[in-house]
Structure 1
């Protein structure tokens, strides 16, 4: 038993040195992309909603998508298929779970995230912020719940498309081929 526990905990020590810090140009392009992506979503939010306290377009999972799209654009998790598919599928699952399964919020939250992960794996659209999108559909405000499946189209699909357009422009402005985006579409 002791030997098994030692082996188990030994796996957690890590085997590699951490990666080196990113080059300043990579940091700069990441910052520009993140700023522009979130800024354009925010501007759209202001024009659609007169009351600026209604930030329905500023979905928290978009911040995590910005980290992937602009920070690690070559990652499999950052590709357009993953960004769009992961968010749309997860939002659909979150809304469905919330509207049609009569259980307590903690169970619905866990179920929405779990189902989203499983579906994203099966569809090859794994995008970690999608799990947050599913969770937001369950625990979100009454405004989000009132949108129903419209939540999938706006703000989710609309915001993801804005982030994608900015990623295409900014990531390809760099002369570094390791930043060029996307690696593949579908």
Structure 2
């Protein structure tokens, strides 16, 4: 097989998702993101802490939309975000004078560590990158970034996933914990 033939794909597109699955994915994503955003805007609004980061949007797709995926399980959600946050902060602190290098080291190392720890969660790559390219408010948090917003936000979203994803009889979350 030639190199470009590999890019043709080997499978057909998956079937459409049923309306019930769409509904519960929406309810979960709305509930999870609104919970994290509520804490951000109403409980931490008067502090220098941040609670909501862009990578949580991608986590919502996984933990409310494709709940059977290994990438959506609690170990991956929590571990992937926290490991990536720590790596992102370290990369920024070591290489902030060369942002291109800091960004690349953060994402690539986060992926390697998530693989090595069985916590692969694609939004973790964004969490690492946000630690590098984020605002001064993010940089001022230092390693606290791994606790608030990352750890606490991921835990809030996990609690919502446990509650919402198990309401319908057709859904079961999680598939595994460890």
TM-score by length of 1: 0.92
Q: Give 3-state SS (helix, strand or coil) of 2:151's partner.
A: helix
* Contact 2:49 2:148 (8 Å CA) reproduced: no
Q: Which runs of 5+ in 1 are unaligned?
A: none
- Root mean square deviation of aligned Cα: 1.5
Q: Tell me, in whole angstroms, the C-alpha distance in 2 between the residues paired with 1:175 and 1:17.
A: 28
Name 1:106's counterpart in structure 2: 100
- Of 156, 161, 166, the residue aligned with 2:155 is 161
Once the two structures are superposed, residues 53-96 of structure 1 have per-residue CA deviations (whole angstroms, 9 ceiling, x without a partner) of: x8821200000000000000010000000000000000000001
User: How many residue pairs were aligned?
Assistant: 177
TM-score by length of 2: 0.96
Q: Which runs of 5+ in 2 are unaligned?
A: none
Q: Tell me, in whole angstroms, the C-alpha distance in 1 between the residues paired with 2:79 and 2:31.
A: 22
Q: Give 3-state SS (helix, strand or coil) of 1:148's partner.
A: helix
The question of 1:183 aligning with 2:175 is answered yes
Q: Tell me, in whole angstroms, the C-alpha distance in 1 between the residues paired with 2:24 and 2:132.
A: 34
Matched ranges for 1:78-89 at <5 A: 78-89=72-83
TM-superposed CA distance for 1:101, in Å, is 3.2
After superposing on structure 2, the runs of 4+ consecutive aligned residues of structure 1 that deviate more than 3 Å are: none
Structure number with greater Rg is 1
The question of 1:130 aligning with 2:124 is answered yes
Name 2:54's counterpart in structure 1: 60
